[in-house]
Amino acid sequence: MQIAERMNVIAESITLKVSAKASALKRAGVDVVGFGAGEPDFDTPAFIKDAAKTAIDKGQTKYTPTPCLPELRQAIADKFNRENHLPYKPEQISVGAGGKHALYMAFMATLNAGDEVLIPTPYWVSYPEQIKLAGGVPKFIPGDEKNGFRITPAQLDAAITPRTRGLIMNSPSNPGGHAYTPDELKALADVVVRHPNVMVYSDEIYEKLLYGGLKFVSFAALHPQLLDQTLTFNCHSKSFAMTGWRVGYVGGPKDAIDAINKLQSQMCSHITSFTQIPAALALNDPRGAESIEAMRQQFEKRGAHMWKRLTELPKVTCVKPQGAFYCFPNVSAYFGKNAGEIAIKDAISFSSALLEQSHVAVVPGNDSGFDTHIRLSFATSMEQIDKGLDRVARFLVELK
Ligand SMILES: Cc1ncc(COP(=O)(O)O)c(C=O)c1O
């Protein structure tokens, strides 16, 4: 069958290949320690699950309006107002099937062919591919490990050209685990407001998972002008351990939201009907905030422990995670060595060898713009973290 040319502009995910191999090993009965997961290992809070059961029993199983039930849009607008100081009204909210879909629709609705979008590295794997599908051109701003992967205002200023139409902000970050302080974000915002043609896509889905007392601030709240220049993304996936429910949302200027809703009306119509009231409840009910905080505290302990163990490994460096649930160590000191038959030349060969020989699954940083780093998720138990890192330590010692 003919395959559309547009499929050639996006790359096949290396990450998926590695996780497919890990799954095959697990199915074959091998005891694999998985550090690949990009999702909380906690269950969705019971009150949210109960609300979904009630919604089904009450017959909320039919079509809803494209921008979702008014209760959900109102709850999201209230959340943005209350927690993020973003005065969005319900008509400034669009809802997608997860953060990923909300981002995709936004790129499709706001980018023209050839529009350049700046992406600080390391980045979440889907940004460049989604931007390319929308006809845009990703341009990268290299994050420096020595500066905790955070880009500087001078770097941002230098990267903006007359062709720049967008900037991706993602703090806390996947895969870097880094986060900006409010002052650092403000300094970047000051650069952006000098360029009113640059739209900011602020991916704030790890908002609730911040460590070391760091305070969260929404990018669009940093300057009144940014409200008209920014689309703010969030989702229930990570905060409420609801990855499979597929609830993501975006707030922003009404013309952009109208365009996104127009696309959604021809795409999915709306997200699953019986997730909408539970999703609204999650944002409003104090039990939502309580469950987030309990999970955050666990992640903070695990992240600090994983980071300590990683930095004790010879010749491995790692930025201390300040948010999300990932460590992103640099393993390039081991490139040029051999693991049995496998020559280790980059993060992909390192990850393959680690999986095949020591049964530890990690994600190579290649898809995130860093072929020298690997990503380890600490959304797993302390026991698994220790077991996996014991194996990594032995693997490194045995490299020739
Ligand atoms: C930075 C970032 N943005 C967006 C997403 C997409 O989230 P969702 O699962 O809600 O589609 C992810 C998921 O891993 C992510 O890490």
For the CA of 102, the closest atom of ligand 1 is 11
pLDDT at 76: 98
pLDDT at 38: 85
pLDDT at 104: 98
323 lines ligand 1 (CB under 6 A): no
Q: How far apart are the CA of 270 and the centre of ligand 1, in A?
A: 19
Helices (H) and strands (E) in the chain, counts: 13, 14
pLDDT at 20: 85
Q: How far apart are the CA of 394 and the centre of ligand 1, in A?
A: 32
Q: How far apart are CA 156 and CA 370, in angstroms?
A: 19
124 lines ligand 1 (CB under 6 A): yes
* Whether the predicted model's global pTM rises above the 0.85 cut: yes
235 lines ligand 1 (CB under 6 A): yes
Q: How far apart are the CA of 98 and the centre of ligand 1, in A?
A: 7
Q: How far apart are the CA of 206 and the centre of ligand 1, in A?
A: 9
**Spatial contact of 18 and 219, defined as CB atoms under 8 Å apart:** no
- Grouped pLDDT means (10 residues each) for the chain, 400 residues: 92 77 92 91 95 97 94 98 98 97 98 98 96 97 97 98 98 97 98 98 98 97 98 96 96 98 96 97 95 96 98 97 97 96 94 95 95 96 97 96
- Kind and range of the H or E run holding 202: strand 199-203
**Spatial contact of 60 and 277, defined as CB atoms under 8 Å apart:** yes
Length of the chain: 400
pLDDT at 64: 95
- 3-class SS shares of the chain: helix, strand, coil, % to 5: 50, 15, 40
